């Protein structure tokens, strides 16, 4: 990941870097890797997130189609 510093404006470059890292999900990954996660816990977490994603998609579809 690369951010260029223009006119010695390090604060602006740092903000851009943080935004890029946030978009890429690096902060989330760092948080997850802070402690060891058992494979069974990892599967359960990923399954729960998949269910949340599917429900959210269904809500959006239902809202778009006007069935609710």
Tell the residue number behind the tokens 């949340």, with chain if given: 52
Q: Tokens at residue 39, please?
A: 């494979």
33-67 burial, b for 16+ CB within 10 Å, e for fewer?
A: eeeeeeeeeeeeeeeeeeeeeeeeeeeeeeeeeee
Q: Say what the pTM is.
A: 0.60
Alpha-carbon span 51 to 11, nearest angstrom: 39
Convert the pLDDT of each residue in 7-58 to its tens digit.
Answer: 999 999 999 999 999 999 999 999 999 999 999 999 999 999 999 999 999 9
């Amino acid at each position: 990941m690369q951010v260029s510093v223009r006119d010695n404006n390090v604060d602006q470059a740092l903000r851009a870097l943080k935004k890029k890292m946030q978009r890429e999900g690096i902060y989330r990954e760092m948080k997850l890797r802070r402690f060891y996660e058992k494979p069974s816990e990892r599967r359960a977490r990923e399954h729960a997130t998949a269910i949340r994603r599917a429900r959210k998609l269904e809500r959006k579809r239902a809202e778009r189609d006007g069935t609710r």
